[in-house]
Amino acid sequence: MIPDPPARPFGRSPVLGRRQLLISSLVGLAATAACSPRPASVLPTPTATAASPSTLAAVTSSAEVIPLPTLIEQVPPPAAATANMLCRAAWGARPPRPGGRPHEITRMTLHHTAVVLGDNRYAPARLRQHQRFHQDERGWIDIAYHVGVDRDGNIYELRTPELAGDTATDYDPAGHFLVLCEGDFDQEAVTDAQLGGAAMAFAWAAQTFHIAPGTLAGHRDFASTSCPGKNLYDRITDGDLALRVDSLLAGGPVDLQKICGPEAAERVAQIEAGG
């Protein structure tokens, strides 16, 4: 700080053919026996042809039989989450200064800037302002955080995650993956797009650095500060942000693609133009 994919809907069960129901019953009995074995004296007496092909054919003579492997193949794989991250050059970052502390990331922490953003077109300029303040006034090697997210959910590359962040408060940010939401959330409301961008950054970090999603916390959990602001911190305490992260991870690989060059420069120009 400077002063310093939704839960899955419940689906309807597929309609099974009679053969599948019979097979399911047999499998269910076998599973019950495996999970909760009964004494031998009450186990059913086995027969030589408990479910012989002729028996199955008789009970499914009028139903279409779909082999179980085919049913499994028909279930579409979960969609992977993909988003772009605007590289440092795109938003006009200075080069980092030499130095910094290498660290191993073990947890994830959310911050805000504690400066009202207002119109989202100011977001890239604010990042440049934050970096100048951190380097020139604080004497830090770079902007303090690893990833930034603006009001419209655009994701920005900040400090390299290989190096620990910095803080003007009384905690050691080594080991923390730091995500910065642009704005003052003691005064401003957080948007759904910004929460979505933060969740994407945290899900990517959890996957990339093998961090337990349960480590997600706010700056105020480690220091005497209101950061990341009440309106944003409430989305941690009510479980909303964690649910978003878990949903992204459950959907498959999370791909945060860094974009640079003309494509990224054009996107920043659109943001600054109010697009």
Return per-residue pLDDT of the chain as tens, 275 residues: 444 444 333 333 333 343 343 334 433 333 333 333 333 333 333 344 444 444 434 434 444 444 544 434 444 445 678 999 999 999 999 999 999 999 999 999 999 999 999 999 999 999 999 999 999 999 999 999 999 999 999 999 999 999 999 999 999 999 999 999 999 999 999 999 999 999 999 999 999 999 999 999 999 999 999 999 999 999 999 999 999 999 999 999 999 999 999 999 999 999 999 98
Residues of the chain by 3-state class (helix, strand, coil), percent to 5: 40, 10, 45
C-alpha dihedral, 130 to 131 to 133 to 137, nearest 10°: 150
Selection from 177, 249, 242, 240 nearest residue 207 by Cα: 249
Instruction: Report how far residue 44's alpha carbon sits from residue 33's, in angstroms, rounded to the nearest whole number.
Output: 11
CA 196 to chain centre: 8
Look up the pTM and report it: 0.72
In CATH terms, is domain 81-272 a member of 3.40.80.10? yes
- Domain range list for the chain: 18-74, 81-272
